[in-house]
Amino acid sequence: MSTDWMPRRREDQLAMARLWVTALPPLKPLLAVTDAEISELEDLIEDVETRQVAAQTNRGDQVLVAREREAFEAMVAYMRTLRRRRFFNYPMTSSQWLSLGLSPPDLVRTPHIDVTEVVEFELRLRNIREVLINFWIKGEVHHAKPAGYDGAVIIWDVLDSPPAVPDDLSHHTMASRTPHALEFREDQRGKTVYMALAWQNERGLLGQWSEIQNAVVP
Protein backbone atom coordinates (compact mmCIF):
# COMPACT_ATOMS: atom_id res chain seq x y z
CA MET A 1 0.00 0.00 0.00
CA SER A 2 1.30 3.45 -0.92
CA THR A 3 2.01 5.79 1.99
CA ASP A 4 1.91 8.88 -0.23
CA TRP A 5 -0.78 11.29 0.95
CA MET A 6 -1.40 12.59 -2.58
CA PRO A 7 -4.20 10.70 -4.39
CA ARG A 8 -3.13 8.81 -7.50
CA ARG A 9 -6.16 9.56 -9.68
CA ARG A 10 -6.26 12.96 -11.31
CA GLU A 11 -9.90 13.55 -10.42
CA ASP A 12 -9.10 12.87 -6.76
CA GLN A 13 -6.14 15.26 -6.91
CA LEU A 14 -8.38 17.97 -8.35
CA ALA A 15 -11.05 17.28 -5.71
CA MET A 16 -8.46 17.66 -2.94
CA ALA A 17 -7.19 20.93 -4.42
CA ARG A 18 -10.74 22.32 -4.51
CA LEU A 19 -11.23 21.18 -0.91
CA TRP A 20 -8.10 23.06 0.19
CA VAL A 21 -9.38 26.29 -1.37
CA THR A 22 -12.45 26.01 0.85
CA ALA A 23 -10.76 24.67 4.00
CA LEU A 24 -7.64 26.83 4.12
CA PRO A 25 -9.13 30.33 4.72
CA PRO A 26 -10.32 29.50 8.28
CA LEU A 27 -6.86 27.99 8.99
CA LYS A 28 -4.87 31.04 7.84
CA PRO A 29 -4.14 32.38 11.36
CA LEU A 30 -3.07 28.92 12.53
CA LEU A 31 -0.87 27.92 9.60
CA ALA A 32 0.24 31.36 8.37
CA VAL A 33 -1.21 30.58 4.94
CA THR A 34 -1.49 33.74 2.85
CA ASP A 35 -4.24 34.96 0.53
CA ALA A 36 -1.67 34.94 -2.28
CA GLU A 37 -0.95 31.22 -1.73
CA ILE A 38 -4.65 30.35 -1.83
CA SER A 39 -5.09 32.52 -4.92
CA GLU A 40 -2.16 30.73 -6.60
CA LEU A 41 -3.81 27.38 -5.92
CA GLU A 42 -7.09 28.68 -7.38
CA ASP A 43 -5.25 29.76 -10.55
CA LEU A 44 -3.63 26.34 -10.88
CA ILE A 45 -7.01 24.63 -10.45
CA GLU A 46 -8.52 26.87 -13.13
CA ASP A 47 -5.64 26.03 -15.47
CA VAL A 48 -6.18 22.31 -14.87
CA GLU A 49 -9.91 22.58 -15.55
CA THR A 50 -9.38 24.60 -18.72
CA ARG A 51 -6.77 22.24 -20.15
CA GLN A 52 -8.79 19.21 -19.10
CA VAL A 53 -11.82 20.41 -21.06
CA ALA A 54 -9.65 21.19 -24.09
CA ALA A 55 -8.07 17.71 -24.04
CA GLN A 56 -11.44 15.97 -23.64
CA THR A 57 -13.05 18.05 -26.38
CA ASN A 58 -10.24 17.33 -28.85
CA ARG A 59 -9.48 13.70 -28.12
CA GLY A 60 -6.36 12.45 -29.87
CA ASP A 61 -4.61 15.82 -29.85
CA GLN A 62 -1.33 14.89 -28.15
CA VAL A 63 -0.32 18.52 -27.60
CA LEU A 64 -3.49 19.19 -25.59
CA VAL A 65 -3.03 15.92 -23.69
CA ALA A 66 0.52 16.97 -22.77
CA ARG A 67 -0.67 20.40 -21.65
CA GLU A 68 -3.30 18.79 -19.44
CA ARG A 69 -0.66 16.54 -17.86
CA GLU A 70 1.65 19.50 -17.29
CA ALA A 71 -1.15 21.48 -15.61
CA PHE A 72 -1.85 18.61 -13.21
CA GLU A 73 1.87 18.23 -12.46
CA ALA A 74 2.14 21.95 -11.65
CA MET A 75 -0.88 21.84 -9.36
CA VAL A 76 0.30 18.73 -7.52
CA ALA A 77 3.83 20.13 -7.11
CA TYR A 78 2.40 23.33 -5.62
CA MET A 79 0.19 21.37 -3.22
CA ARG A 80 3.20 19.38 -2.02
CA THR A 81 5.14 22.59 -1.47
CA LEU A 82 2.23 24.22 0.36
CA ARG A 83 1.83 21.22 2.66
CA ARG A 84 5.55 21.11 3.42
CA ARG A 85 5.82 24.85 4.13
CA ARG A 86 2.56 25.48 5.99
CA PHE A 87 0.83 22.42 7.39
CA PHE A 88 3.39 21.77 10.10
CA ASN A 89 3.71 25.33 11.41
CA TYR A 90 1.41 24.54 14.33
CA PRO A 91 -0.15 21.27 15.55
CA MET A 92 -3.55 20.74 13.93
CA THR A 93 -6.41 18.77 15.41
CA SER A 94 -7.65 15.60 13.74
CA SER A 95 -10.73 17.42 12.45
CA GLN A 96 -8.55 20.12 10.87
CA TRP A 97 -6.42 17.53 9.06
CA LEU A 98 -9.58 15.76 7.89
CA SER A 99 -11.06 19.05 6.63
CA LEU A 100 -8.14 19.14 4.18
CA GLY A 101 -8.82 15.59 3.02
CA LEU A 102 -5.73 14.32 4.85
CA SER A 103 -5.26 11.67 7.49
CA PRO A 104 -4.04 13.02 10.86
CA PRO A 105 -0.36 12.21 11.52
CA ASP A 106 0.27 9.11 13.58
CA LEU A 107 1.39 10.55 16.90
CA VAL A 108 1.90 7.17 18.55
CA ARG A 109 4.85 5.90 16.57
CA THR A 110 8.19 7.66 16.54
CA PRO A 111 8.23 10.16 13.68
CA HIS A 112 10.79 9.58 10.95
CA ILE A 113 12.30 13.06 10.85
CA ASP A 114 15.85 12.76 9.53
CA VAL A 115 16.24 11.55 5.96
CA THR A 116 19.46 9.57 6.09
CA GLU A 117 18.84 7.21 3.17
CA VAL A 118 20.16 7.97 -0.34
CA VAL A 119 18.51 7.01 -3.62
CA GLU A 120 20.23 4.73 -6.09
CA PHE A 121 18.69 4.42 -9.55
CA GLU A 122 19.10 3.26 -13.13
CA LEU A 123 17.62 4.58 -16.36
CA ARG A 124 16.09 2.47 -19.13
CA LEU A 125 14.54 3.39 -22.47
CA ARG A 126 11.15 1.76 -22.97
CA ASN A 127 8.92 3.55 -25.49
CA ILE A 128 9.46 6.56 -27.72
CA ARG A 129 9.61 9.81 -25.72
CA GLU A 130 9.79 7.81 -22.48
CA VAL A 131 12.55 7.12 -19.95
CA LEU A 132 11.94 4.57 -17.20
CA ILE A 133 13.50 5.16 -13.77
CA ASN A 134 14.11 2.22 -11.44
CA PHE A 135 15.09 3.40 -7.96
CA TRP A 136 15.81 1.89 -4.55
CA ILE A 137 17.57 2.59 -1.26
CA LYS A 138 21.31 2.79 -1.83
CA GLY A 139 23.00 -0.28 -0.39
CA GLU A 140 19.80 -2.36 -0.39
CA VAL A 141 19.02 -5.20 -2.77
CA HIS A 142 15.25 -4.67 -2.95
CA HIS A 143 13.48 -1.98 -4.97
CA ALA A 144 11.42 -0.16 -2.34
CA LYS A 145 11.17 3.19 -0.63
CA PRO A 146 11.84 3.66 3.10
CA ALA A 147 8.84 2.96 5.33
CA GLY A 148 6.72 6.03 5.98
CA TYR A 149 8.20 8.07 3.11
CA ASP A 150 6.23 9.86 0.39
CA GLY A 151 8.66 8.55 -2.21
CA ALA A 152 11.52 9.87 -4.31
CA VAL A 153 11.63 13.40 -5.70
CA ILE A 154 12.97 13.41 -9.26
CA ILE A 155 14.57 16.60 -10.57
CA TRP A 156 15.44 16.70 -14.24
CA ASP A 157 16.09 18.86 -17.27
CA VAL A 158 16.89 18.51 -20.96
CA LEU A 159 20.16 20.39 -21.42
CA ASP A 160 22.87 20.94 -24.02
CA SER A 161 25.64 20.38 -21.45
CA PRO A 162 25.91 18.56 -18.10
CA PRO A 163 24.70 20.52 -15.04
CA ALA A 164 27.27 21.38 -12.37
CA VAL A 165 24.95 20.61 -9.43
CA PRO A 166 21.43 19.17 -8.98
CA ASP A 167 20.06 22.68 -8.30
CA ASP A 168 20.68 23.44 -11.98
CA LEU A 169 17.83 21.05 -12.87
CA SER A 170 14.55 22.96 -13.11
CA HIS A 171 11.80 20.29 -13.38
CA HIS A 172 10.66 18.04 -10.54
CA THR A 173 8.10 15.38 -9.84
CA MET A 174 7.26 12.93 -7.04
CA ALA A 175 7.59 9.19 -7.70
CA SER A 176 5.72 7.18 -5.09
CA ARG A 177 6.43 3.84 -6.76
CA THR A 178 9.24 2.28 -8.78
CA PRO A 179 9.66 2.12 -11.70
CA HIS A 180 8.54 5.61 -12.66
CA ALA A 181 8.12 6.70 -16.29
CA LEU A 182 8.99 10.21 -17.46
CA GLU A 183 7.41 11.29 -20.75
CA PHE A 184 8.91 13.89 -23.05
CA ARG A 185 7.86 16.02 -26.00
CA GLU A 186 8.51 15.09 -29.61
CA ASP A 187 10.97 17.99 -30.01
CA GLN A 188 13.05 16.61 -27.11
CA ARG A 189 13.80 13.31 -28.83
CA GLY A 190 17.51 12.77 -29.40
CA LYS A 191 18.44 15.26 -26.68
CA THR A 192 20.02 14.45 -23.33
CA VAL A 193 18.01 14.50 -20.12
CA TYR A 194 19.88 14.81 -16.82
CA MET A 195 18.32 13.85 -13.49
CA ALA A 196 18.93 13.26 -9.80
CA LEU A 197 16.74 11.78 -7.05
CA ALA A 198 16.31 12.23 -3.31
CA TRP A 199 14.03 10.57 -0.77
CA GLN A 200 11.26 12.67 0.79
CA ASN A 201 9.70 11.66 4.10
CA GLU A 202 6.10 12.24 5.13
CA ARG A 203 7.05 15.56 6.73
CA GLY A 204 8.17 16.84 3.37
CA LEU A 205 11.88 16.77 4.27
CA LEU A 206 14.36 15.87 1.55
CA GLY A 207 17.44 13.72 1.86
CA GLN A 208 20.73 13.97 0.00
CA TRP A 209 20.59 14.18 -3.78
CA SER A 210 21.94 11.21 -5.70
CA GLU A 211 24.60 11.48 -8.34
CA ILE A 212 23.36 13.00 -11.61
CA GLN A 213 22.68 10.49 -14.39
CA ASN A 214 21.68 11.06 -17.99
CA ALA A 215 19.99 9.40 -20.93
CA VAL A 216 19.15 10.30 -24.53
CA VAL A 217 15.40 10.73 -25.00
CA PRO A 218 14.29 8.00 -27.45
As a whole number, mean pLDDT of residues 191-210 equals 89
Report the chain's mean pLDDT, rounded to a whole number.
88
Q: Are 131 and 193 in contact (CB under 8 A)?
A: yes
Between CA 133 and CA 131 the distance in angstroms is 7
What is the maximal distance between C-alpha atoms in the chain? 51
Whole-structure pTM over 0.75, yes or no?
A: no
Between CA 154 and CA 92 the distance in angstroms is 29
> Which CATH architecture fits 119-216?
Sandwich (2.60)
Q: Where are the domains of the chain?
A: 10-99, 119-216
Amino acid residing at 187: D
Residue 109 confidence (pLDDT) above 50: no
Q: Are 173 and 132 in contact (CB under 8 A)?
A: no
Q: Are 145 and 128 in contact (CB under 8 A)?
A: no
Percent of the chain topping pLDDT 70 = 94
